[in-house]
């Protein structure tokens, strides 16, 4: 060993440096977690775990959509999650997480169209839920070959979920 290593100076310096790094990492992690908890509370995050349509109007840009849904033919048989989330457990929560992140990002940065527009990935989810709920009625319309595709249900039935006034 060299003279520095024998008297422990290098070991103490390394130990002190790692302690400082641990403290800095703990402060950063605490700040990140604290900011996340604050944001979740401020943004009423727990409400998004429910099935309550009023949750959607936590964001003011959704009020017109809620009002339109209340005048629609599906008002008494389906809530927002019934049409806008997949019906399987994993798909539902993955879509909620995906939408939650991108909605909060868009609303925080003000980067969204008003009136808000459905994204293609969410339009596919909505199409699948229409077909799932109405498969007994639309089975003859479904393509035999998946690559053929099919017209979106809302192309003709735009007023079903959100009635235009």
Do 110 and 31 lie in one domain? The reply is: no
Do 156 and 114 lie in one domain? The reply is: yes
Do 83 and 13 lie in one domain? The reply is: no
The pLDDT > 90 percentage for the chain reads: 32
Q: What is the mean pLDDT of the chain?
A: 84
Crossing angle (nearest 10°) for helices 89-109 and 120-133: 140
Q: Which residue has the higher pLDDT, 86 or 145?
A: 86
pLDDT at 110: 84
Binned at pLDDT 50, 70 and 90, residue 82 comes out as: very high
In this predicted structure, the answer to whether residue 64 has a pLDDT above a threshold of 50 is yes
Is 161 in contact with 129 (CB distance < 8 Å)? no
Q: State mean pLDDT over 87-116.
A: 87
Binned at pLDDT 50, 70 and 90, residue 6 comes out as: low
114 occurs within a structural domain: yes
Range of the domain at 2: 1-42
Whichever domain contains 85, its CATH number is 1.10.3820.10
pLDDT, tens digit, 9 for 90 and up, residues 45-56: 888 888 899 988
160 occurs within a structural domain: yes
Do 109 and 145 lie in one domain? The reply is: yes
Q: How many CA atoms lie within 13 A of 66 on its CB side?
A: 12
Do 34 and 71 lie in one domain? The reply is: no
Indicate yes or no: pTM above 0.85. no
In this predicted structure, the answer to whether residue 4 has a pLDDT above a threshold of 80 is no
47 occurs within a structural domain: no
Is 31 in contact with 22 (CB distance < 8 Å)? no
94 occurs within a structural domain: yes
Do 76 and 149 lie in one domain? The reply is: yes
3-state secondary structure of 52: coil
Do 69 and 147 lie in one domain? The reply is: yes
Number of domains in the chain: 2
154 occurs within a structural domain: yes
């Amino acid at each position: 060993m060299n003279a520095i290593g024998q008297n422990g100076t290098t070991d103490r310096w390394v130990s002190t440096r790692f302690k400082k790094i641990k403290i800095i990492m703990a402060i950063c992690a605490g700040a990140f977690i604290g900011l996340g908890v604050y944001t979740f509370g401020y943004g009423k995050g727990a409400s998004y775990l429910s099935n309550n349509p009023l949750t959607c109007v936590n964001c003011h840009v959704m009020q017109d959509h809620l009002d339109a849904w209340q005048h629609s033919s599906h008002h008494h048989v389906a809530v927002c999650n019934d049409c806008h989330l997949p019906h399987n457990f994993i798909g539902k929560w993955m879509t909620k997480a995906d939408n939650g992140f991108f909605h909060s990002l868009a609303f925080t940065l003000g980067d969204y169209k008003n009136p808000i527009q459905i994204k293609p990935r969410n339009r596919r989810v909505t199409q699948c839920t229409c077909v799932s709920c109405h498969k007994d009625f639309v089975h003859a319309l479904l393509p035999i070959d998946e690559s053929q595709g099919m017209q979106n249900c809302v192309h003709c039935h735009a007023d079903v979920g959100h009635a235009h006034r």
